[in-house]
């Protein structure tokens, strides 16, 4: 019985050693009967590290030629996409060799350019509204304030005209015309402090 156990243990050890010597392979629990080369596992880990860190140096450690080429292509694509977004330049995207990354880069730059244009228009609109509020308030033009499209600037303009009239005339009736109760209070305090 002891000889049988010893023989079984030796057989198991030899089988295990033989499997380890065959290309450094390990069983893949996710698929029946298939094996995964340890180099492939390490290549995948290096690929992931390269992509997550943006460091192409990890690609150099990859032994699989296709995986190494893909890794370098992805890192280059990520770098070029960052450059294209920073410079808002779609031509940089055209240097990307990987089709999906090139398309993603072009779409991202187009989206960013559209958002930048929208933001520039909004800033331009608010700059013009602010300028109108300053102009009408400075001219004591309450009717001009009513022409302002943006409600906040319209209110600011109206309040400034009414504050100015209250301070010039020392008459609190202008403070009463201010819509907001807190602003009315502010107007009265400013009037009383002069």
| Of 34 and 117, the one with more pLDDT | 117
- pLDDT of 147-178, one tens digit each? 999 999 999 999 999 999 999 999 999 999 99
Contact 157, 137 (CB under 8 A): yes
| CA 11 centroid distance within chain | 58
DSSP assignment of 88-136? T-HHHHTT--SHHHHHHHHHHHHHHHHHHHHHHHHHHHHHHHHHHHHHH
- pLDDT of 140-155, one tens digit each? 999 999 999 999 999 9
Q: How many CB atoms lie within 10 A of CB 166?
A: 22
Contact 145, 135 (CB under 8 A): no
- For residues 122 and 128, give the distance between their C-alpha atoms in angstroms, rounded to a whole number: 10
| pLDDT on residue 14 | 29
Whether residue 110 is predicted with pLDDT greater than 80 in this model: the reply is: yes
| pLDDT on residue 35 | 54
- For residues 51 and 29, give the distance between their C-alpha atoms in angstroms, rounded to a whole number: 26
Mean pLDDT of the chain: 84
- For residues 9 and 193, give the distance between their C-alpha atoms in angstroms, rounded to a whole number: 100
In a 10 Å sphere around its CB, with 0-12 CB exposed, 13-18 middle and 19+ buried, how is residue 4 labelled? Answer: exposed
Report domain extents, the chain.
Answer: 33-119, 139-194
Whether residue 6 is predicted with pLDDT greater than 90 in this model: the reply is: no
- For residues 134 and 168, give the distance between their C-alpha atoms in angstroms, rounded to a whole number: 18
And the tokens for 31?
A: 């698929």
| pLDDT on residue 36 | 67
| pLDDT on residue 37 | 85
- Residue 54 Rama label (left phi>0; alpha psi -120 to 50; beta): left
| pLDDT on residue 91 | 97
| pLDDT on residue 193 | 84
Q: Please report which helix (H) or strand (E) contains residue 181, including its range.
A: helix 181-193
| pLDDT on residue 29 | 46
Whether residue 30 is predicted with pLDDT greater than 60 in this model: the reply is: no
- pLDDT of 65-88, one tens digit each? 999 999 999 999 999 999 999 999
And the tokens for 134?
A: 């300053």
């Amino acid at each position: 019985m002891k000889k049988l156990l010893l023989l079984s243990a030796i057989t198991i050890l030899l089988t295990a050693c033989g499997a380890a010597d065959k290309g450094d392979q390990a069983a893949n629990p996710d698929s029946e009967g298939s094996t995964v080369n340890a180099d492939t596992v390490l290549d995948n880990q290096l690929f992931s590290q390269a992509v997550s860190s943006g460091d192409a140096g990890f690609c150099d450690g990859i032994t699989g030629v296709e995986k190494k080429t893909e890794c370098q292509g992805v890192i280059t694509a990520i770098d070029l996409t960052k450059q294209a977004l920073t410079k808002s330049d779609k031509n940089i995207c055209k240097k990307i060799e990987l089709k999906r990354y090139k398309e993603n880069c072009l779409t991202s730059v187009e989206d960013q350019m559209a958002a930048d244009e929208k933001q520039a228009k909004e800033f331009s609109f608010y700059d013009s509204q602010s300028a109108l509020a300053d102009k009408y308030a400075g001219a004591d033009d309450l009717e001009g304030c009513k022409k302002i499209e943006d409600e906040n600037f319209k209110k600011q303009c109206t309040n400034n005209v009414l504050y100015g009239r209250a301070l010039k005339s020392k008459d609190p009736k202008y403070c009463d015309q201010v819509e907001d109760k807190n602003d009315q209070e502010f107007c009265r305090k400013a009037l009383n402090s002069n």
